[in-house]
Amino acid sequence: MKQLSALILALTAPACLGPPYDADLRGAPSASLPQIPPGASVFRYELVVVVPGEQARLGGAEAFSDRVAVAVDDLLVRRGVSPQRSAAGADVARVHLTLIHGASRTELWAERDGLRKTYTDLANPPRRSLDELLGRMLASFRP
């Protein structure tokens, strides 16, 4: 069983979300965010970042998924919506997002009210890819 686990880890290592992905997503400083227009739609969401291997913490004290969520908030604001992250299990209407980043593609699953849509794009560059996926997702799951 240990050999199988080692083999799986070796095969998934190139697809892991690693420091270059993290650095690219965090590329735009929060200070440059545009103002959310008055009356902008609120987009409530819960985010899960699928991270293969031992990638729970990279380059800092905060969890990697938290840093990705900050990047998602940044990209949503740039698209003119007011992002509001919701905790799992909270009793509010929200879109459940699952982000999966692999070696060749990035996938975003959006689920709400039993409906799930999948959006796929090339993996590089990660920030532009995620922005593209969020744009397509917002068109389907408008707040």
Residue whose C-alpha is closest to residue 141's, from 98, 111, 107? 111
pLDDT-derived band at 89 (thresholds 50, 70, 90) equals low
pLDDT of 122 above 90:
no
pLDDT of 81 above 80:
yes
Number of independent structural domains in the chain: 1
For residue 7, being part of any structural domain is answered with no
For residue 8, being part of any structural domain is answered with no
For residue 1, being part of any structural domain is answered with no
For residue 106, being part of any structural domain is answered with yes
- Domain of 108 in residue numbering reads as 14-140
How far is the C-alpha of 133 from the C-alpha of 119, rounded, in Å? 6
What integer pLDDT is reported at residue 136 of this predicted model? 94
For residue 5, being part of any structural domain is answered with no
Overall average pLDDT of the 19-33 stretch: 54
Higher per-residue pLDDT: 52 or 96: 96
What integer pLDDT is reported at residue 140 of this predicted model? 84
14 and 54 Cβ atoms separated by less than 8 Å: no
For residue 34, being part of any structural domain is answered with yes
For residue 57, being part of any structural domain is answered with yes
How far is the C-alpha of 16 from the C-alpha of 20, rounded, in Å? 10
Residue whose C-alpha is closest to residue 53's, from 6, 95, 89? 6
DSSP 20: H
What integer pLDDT is reported at residue 55 of this predicted model? 47
pLDDT of 17 above 50:
no
Residue whose C-alpha is closest to residue 99's, from 135, 58, 65, 124? 65
pLDDT tens digits along 33-52: 567 878 888 999 999 888 65
Overall average pLDDT of the 84-98 stretch: 81
